[in-house]
């Protein structure tokens, strides 16, 4: 385990270094934030002063080297717009994004896995076919369109749920959360449903495939020959085996929920990291964009590590220290 962790940390540092080069080069070579941040009627002296204050008078390699040295000390630069540390702005928005992503994944697991198991057990029935048709819709419908439909139906026509914002929050261990207040829950339901739709469909199909495969295994036939009930066979033996690929895939997809919550946060005006980075792209706030992308990559790496560890717990045959 120790060798695995050392190797994974070394790989993670290399990945972050490569990503920093790609992100820095891609973001800093496109557009000029001075054209957006400075008034068109500004004098040349004012423009030159702004360029120097933002450090844009240096060459690209010099800017990157300065960024790298500051990043090693935990400083990802100051926002051009807010004049605050970019990392601070991201961390302020992270609880909202994490709350939305965790809620969406919780919905996907709670609804997707049982529905997938039912579809696998009753694959030839109307119920099983209906569940699979729903999963196809979940894969096919665009997230932005579904979000707009949710707002039109549940907010405009029915008036059941608010169309945007985060609602009332309370502090939990110093972190603001909305799921502990009724107003916050009402604001959370629609964006979480929208974000969870694709992952729910994925969980349905993974669970269904796993159930159908395992029901043909010899251990299931042997369990039935011993007189075990279907409920015990499926609930104890089959479910344990299908959870290995489900946890692996959904664990990696959780990183996708965080990274690609941008559309949902924009549609529902959810004050998370995605909304912040979209606003920052509009004004070419480079430090915020770079900080968001690097933090997202770091979270992907950490989630991947956690998934590997959980995988080894679910399947004792897997030994992390022996992996290449």
pLDDT in tens, 196-227: 888 888 888 888 888 888 777 777 777 777 77
Cβ atoms of residues 276 and 89 within 8 Å: yes
pLDDT at position 324? 47
Rounded-to-integer distance, Cα 114 and Cα 135, Å: 13
Residue reference for tokens 């120790």: 2
Domain ranges of the chain: 97-270
Report pTM: 0.77
pLDDT at 63 over 50: yes
Output the six-digit token pair for 94.
């992270």
Please tell me the CATH code under which domain 97-270 is placed.
1.10.3720.10
The pLDDT of 105-115, averaged and rounded, is 89
CB atoms within 10 A of CB 23: 20
Cβ atoms of residues 131 and 119 within 8 Å: yes
pLDDT at position 152? 93
Rounded-to-integer distance, Cα 315 and Cα 126, Å: 34
User: What value, to the nearest 5°, has the Cα angle with vertex 57 and ends 55 and 60?
Assistant: 85
The pLDDT of 122-139, averaged and rounded, is 85
Banded model confidence at residue 190, pLDDT cuts 50, 70, 90: very high
pLDDT at position 321? 53
Instruction: Report how far apart the first and last C-alpha atoms of the chain are (Å, whole number).
Output: 12
In the predicted model, what is the mean pLDDT of the chain?
80
Residue 91 or residue 7, greater confidence: 91
Q: Which helix (H) or strand (E) holds 200?
A: helix 182-214
User: What value, to the nearest 5°, has the Cα angle with vertex 255 and ends 115 and 4?
Assistant: 110
Give CA torsion, residues 108, 111, 113, 119, to 10 deg: -130
pLDDT at 295 over 70: yes
Rounded-to-integer distance, Cα 160 and Cα 10, Å: 50
pLDDT at position 302? 81
The winner for highest mean pLDDT among 15-19, 44-48, 233-237 is 15-19
pLDDT in tens, 244-292: 777 777 777 787 788 778 888 889 988 888 888 888 887 777 788 888 8
pLDDT at 165 over 50: yes
Rounded-to-integer distance, Cα 49 and Cα 33, Å: 14
Cβ atoms of residues 178 and 89 within 8 Å: no
The pLDDT of 230-235, averaged and rounded, is 73
Burial of 148: CB neighbours in 10 Å, binned 0-12, 13-18, 19+: middle
């Amino acid at each position: 385990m120790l060798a695995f962790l050392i190797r994974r940390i070394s790989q993670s540092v290399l990945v972050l270094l490569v990503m920093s080069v790609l992100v820095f080069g891609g973001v800093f070579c496109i557009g000029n934030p001075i054209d957006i941040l400075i008034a068109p009627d500004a004098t040349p002296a004012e423009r030159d002063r702004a360029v120097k204050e933002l450090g844009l008078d240096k060459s690209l390699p010099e800017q990157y080297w300065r960024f790298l040295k500051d990043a090693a000390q935990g400083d990802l630069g100051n926002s051009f717009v807010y004049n605050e540390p970019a990392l601070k702005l991201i961390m302020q928005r992270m609880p909202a994004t994490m709350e939305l992503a965790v809620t969406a994944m919780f919905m996907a697991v709670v609804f997707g896995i049982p529905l997938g198991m039912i579809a696998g057990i009753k694959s030839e029935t109307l119920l099983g076919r209906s569940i699979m048709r729903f999963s196809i819709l979940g894969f096919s419908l665009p997230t932005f369109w579904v979000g707009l439909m949710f707002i039109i139906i549940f907010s405009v026509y029915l008036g059941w749920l608010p169309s945007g914002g985060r609602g009332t929050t309370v502090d939990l261990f110093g972190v603001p959360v909305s799921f502990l207040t009724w107003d916050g829950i009402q604001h959370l339901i629609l964006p979480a449903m929208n974000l969870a739709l694709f992952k729910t469909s994925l969980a349905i199909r993974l669970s269904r495939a796993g159930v159908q495969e395992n029901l043909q295994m010899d251990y299931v036939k042997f369990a039935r020959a011993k007189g075990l009930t279907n409920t015990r066979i499926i609930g104890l033996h089959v479910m344990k085996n299908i959870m290995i690929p489900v946890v692996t895939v959904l664990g990696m997809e959780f990183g996708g929920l965080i990274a690609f919550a941008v559309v949902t946060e924009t549609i529902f005006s959810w004050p998370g990291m995605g909304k912040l980075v979209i606003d920052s792209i509009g004004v070419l706030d480079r430090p915020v964009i770079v900080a968001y992308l690097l933090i997202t990559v770091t979270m992907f790496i950490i989630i991947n590590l956690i998934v590997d560890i959980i995988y080894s717990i679910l399947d004792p045959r897997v030994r992390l220290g022996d992996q290449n």
